[in-house]
Amino acid sequence: MKPGLLRRVLWRPLALLLLCGLALQLYFVLRIALMIVVDPQSTTFQRSEAWRLLHEQGRIRWAQQWVDDEHLSGNLKRAVIASEDAGFTEHGGIEWDAIEKAWDKNQRNMARADRRAATNPKASTRPPKLVGGSTISQQLAKNLFLSGERTLPRKAQELLLTLALEALLSKQRILTIYLNSVEWGEGLFGAQGAARHYFRVDAQRLDAYSAARLAVMLPAPKRFEKNPGSPYVTGRAGVIVGRMAAVDLP
């Protein structure tokens, strides 16, 4: 085969792959731009959870009700920012220092797990606990569009989506979508559903302590929903309440 023909044969699939990648990014950007005026009805994470529950339990448990920004308690907004992303109003979507610290901690945890396995191969060992350094914008990008797998390509896509969210949506809009779509228990999504489920009030009427308890649950809602009044949740909520006064809302 002639060199020129060989180059054309090799470049065609690469060019097609690049074109598909660009088309996918354009699709994501258009979806995000639409969210300026249209409330997303569901996220990729919610749909995957609905499918999982249908497969495991034979039914779909899904409690969610969208509420506009003015019907979301300021207490909840402050509590979630204080708990999940203290620099939310200041950063551009990504906290590089937090990502680096999380990476270092995960590497240490995996190294310790490897040493334990090498010392006692027959012992039953759990996978090392991995921590994240994600901002609210990153969490929203992941929930809206991506799977839960931990791979470098998926993380790279998450960062691109985060930058697109920050470029096209206001901080207020990002927080509103996040609070309406984030998980607060198995099949339980959004602030209104969580407020009604745990406290029998609307999201607009959450007081500071109730809002802080909901914020504490966010990193592991399925675990905390089994005992939402546990000593850890209540104690941590007190810490969050103390931080809320210093939070500036977008």
Task: Name the token pair of 66.
Answer: 């969208």
pTM of the model: 0.84
Per the structure block, which two tokens stand in for 112?
A: 């310790």
User: How far apart are alpha carbons 111 and 113 in whole angstroms?
Assistant: 5
Kindly report, residue by residue over 157-172, the tens digit of the pLDDT.
999 999 999 999 999 9
**What pLDDT was estimated at residue 52?**
87
Domain boundaries, the chain: 23-91+135-244, 96-132
pLDDT at 127: 44
Contact 217, 225 (CB under 8 A): yes
Question: What's the CATH number for 23-91+135-244?
Answer: 1.10.3810.10
pLDDT above 90 for 245 = yes
- pLDDT, position 160: 95
Q: Rounded mean pLDDT of 180-199?
A: 95
Per-residue DSSP letter, 123: S
Distances, alpha carbon 11 to alpha carbons 1, 18, 122, in Å: 15, 10, 50
C-alpha closest to that of 175 among 62, 78, 98: 78
Planar angle of CA 61, 65, 67, nearest 5 degrees: 160
Q: Is 183 strand, coil or helix?
A: strand
Query: Taking residues 36-58, what's their average pLDDT?
Result: 89
